[in-house]
């Protein structure tokens, strides 16, 4: 191994070994890495794994499950059930949390995860990921669903795996956000992106614009200004990305800045957003804040939200500080009736396209 390469295991021993339950947390994150390596191997086989396509089953989200969704979920469930480091686990793919029971040993944490995020991209070979969040378990070790409903600011650790051209793990234990790349030849995760910092400014926004007619006015105002570029109030051009895989979007933002928006919309009034709070928004918000970024619902800090149910959905706006804070300001101006919606000159009275 070349000199000076910091492996995930060594990094964890040096950074969490001395904290409360630190040794157990380090061991738990090594277990997560083992599940990630198994899932990475499955994803890299593509259609050869026989795990592409869709199943007949529907998960609690009302979404058609993919074989890789189920296989990835099984990988995480197995490492958590056998590892003796958690008292319970909750997953996007399972209706209810699972308590760890004898003969399996319990530990001081709760694991919450989306085993395979962006799975609609599997069959077209676009990057997918896994997302995890680690919380403290009750002292007694006996868990009920309510034990998982902790605000995101109480997370002990969080991270994601990105199954792309390279397999990466990006995680935080509350002291910065750090990226590790899987060296497939030796099977180690190597520290390649220490202390990631998100640029405060950006010219790149990510949103599914097919939902535009459902957005709230502050979001419409913000996106219209970005699209107006140099001709509009922002006086500079913007670029747009949408991968439909949150892990890939967040990773791009951690690497070069950006703003990701899956805002509240009126598409389905029963859903205040698409993304799930406990195992998508909270872990990603922890990572983003630890990298100097901002994560909001548009009206409040996302990590302050007190969850009311395991699979609760929330609006998510996260990324480069100055852009997220601008959009939060637009929400406040709208809510107080002081907003100034942007009108493209192309559609004004004397514009090119007269209404």
> Which residues contact ligand AFP by CB under 6 A?
63, 117-120, 208, 244-246, 274-275
| Alpha-carbon 300 to chain mean position | 18
Q: Which is nearer to ligand AFP, 147 or 204 (CB)?
A: 204
Q: Which is nearer to ligand AFP, 27 or 316 (CB)?
A: 316
Q: Which is nearer to ligand AFP, 123 or 339 (CB)?
A: 123
Closest distance between ligand AFP and the C-beta of residue 208, in Å?
4
292 DSSP 8-state letter? T
Cβ burial of 54 (10 Å; 0-12, 13-18, 19+) is middle
- State the CB neighbour count (10 A cutoff) for residue 186: 10
The residue with tokens 């992106």 is 193
Q: Which is nearer to ligand AFP, 25 or 250 (CB)?
A: 250
User: 56 is written with which tokens?
Assistant: 């007949």
Closest distance between ligand AFP and the C-beta of residue 69, in Å?
8
Q: Which is nearer to ligand AFP, 7 or 245 (CB)?
A: 245
Q: Is 35 helix (H, G, I), strand (E, B) or coil?
A: helix
Closest distance between ligand AFP and the C-beta of residue 126, in Å?
10
**Contact criterion met (CB below 8 Å) for 111 and 132:** yes
Length in residues, the chain: 355
Q: Is 24 helix (H, G, I), strand (E, B) or coil?
A: helix
Closest distance between ligand AFP and the C-beta of residue 264, in Å?
14
Residue nearest to ligand AFP (CB): 246
User: 292 is written with which tokens?
Assistant: 């100097």
**Contact criterion met (CB below 8 Å) for 250 and 275:** no
- State the CB neighbour count (10 A cutoff) for residue 213: 10
Closest distance between ligand AFP and the C-beta of residue 330, in Å?
21
Closest distance between ligand AFP and the C-beta of residue 132, in Å?
14
């Amino acid at each position: 191994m070349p000199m000076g390469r910091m492996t995930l295991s060594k990094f964890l021993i040096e950074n969490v070994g001395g904290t409360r339950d630190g040794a157990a947390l380090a061991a738990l994150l090594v277990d997560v890495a083992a599940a990630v390596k198994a899932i990475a191997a499955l994803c890299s086989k593509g259609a050869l794994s026989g795990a592409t396509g869709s199943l007949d089953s529907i998960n609690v989200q009302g979404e058609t499950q993919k074989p890789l969704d189920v296989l990835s979920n099984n990988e995480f469930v197995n490492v958590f059930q056998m590892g003796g480091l958690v008292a319970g686990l909750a997953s996007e793919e399972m209706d209810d949390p699972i308590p760890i029971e004898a003969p399996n040993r319990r530990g001081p944490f709760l694991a919450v995860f989306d085993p395979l995020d962006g799975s609609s991209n599997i069959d077209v070979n676009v990057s997918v990921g896994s997302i995890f969040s680690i919380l403290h378990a009750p002292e007694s070790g006996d868990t009920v669903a309510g034990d998982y409903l902790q605000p995101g600011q109480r997370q002990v650790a969080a991270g994601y795996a990105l199954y792309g051209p390279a397999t990466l793990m990006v995680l935080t234990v509350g002291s910065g956000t750090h990226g590790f790349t899987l060296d497939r030849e030796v099977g180690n995760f190597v520290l390649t992106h220490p202390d990631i910092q998100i640029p405060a400014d950006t010219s790149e926004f990510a949103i599914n614009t097919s939902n535009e007619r459902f957005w709230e006015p502050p979001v419409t105002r913000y996106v219209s200004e970005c699209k107006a570029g140099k001709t509009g109030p922002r006086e500079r051009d913007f670029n747009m990305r949408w991968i439909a895989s949150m892990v890939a979007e967040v990773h791009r933002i951690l690497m070069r800045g950006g703003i990701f928006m899956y805002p509240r919309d009126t598409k389905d009034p029963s859903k205040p957003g698409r993304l799930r709070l406990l195992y998508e928004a909270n872990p990603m918000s922890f990572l983003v804040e630890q990298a100097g970024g901002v994560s909001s619902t548009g009206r409040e800090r996302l990590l302050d939200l007190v969850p009311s149910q395991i699979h609760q959905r929330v609006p998510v706006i996260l990324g480069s500080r100055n852009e997220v804070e601008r959009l939060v300001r637009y929400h406040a101006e709208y809510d107080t009736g002081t907003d100034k919606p942007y009108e493209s000159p192309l559609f004004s009275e004397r514009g090119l396209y007269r209404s």
